[in-house]
Amino acid sequence: MTAKSVIQSTSTLRVLCMADPERDSEFVYNEQCFVDILRLPFFDVNPEVDNSVEEYLERIIFTLSNSIEEQLSTVQWQITAKQRQG
């Protein structure tokens, strides 16, 4: 796969998955049309805005938690337990 085809496929995926281009212009989506939180420019540290790790986390935590909840909402969780011996 060439760099050009990757860019084209990413652009196509972005167009197919975007709900609102005005609001979602910087979102990056994966193959399942979920926001790819690790590739979002929003989560890049900006030294002009983020003076500390705490400020960076305060800036991103709400959006990050919503993104994680959105992605995990379709995952089926199964809790299993083993009886303790002894």
* pLDDT classification of 86: cutoffs 50, 70, 90: low
Q: Nearest Cα to 24, choosing from 63, 71, 81?
A: 63
Assess contact for 24 and 14: CB atoms under 8 A. Answer: no
- Give the pLDDT of residue 50: 81
**Interatomic CA distance for residues 57 and 77, integer angstroms:** 27
pTM: 0.36
Those residues whose C-beta lies under 8 Å from the C-beta of residue 41, and which sit 6 or more positions away, are 26
Reading the block at residue 43, the tokens are 């989560």
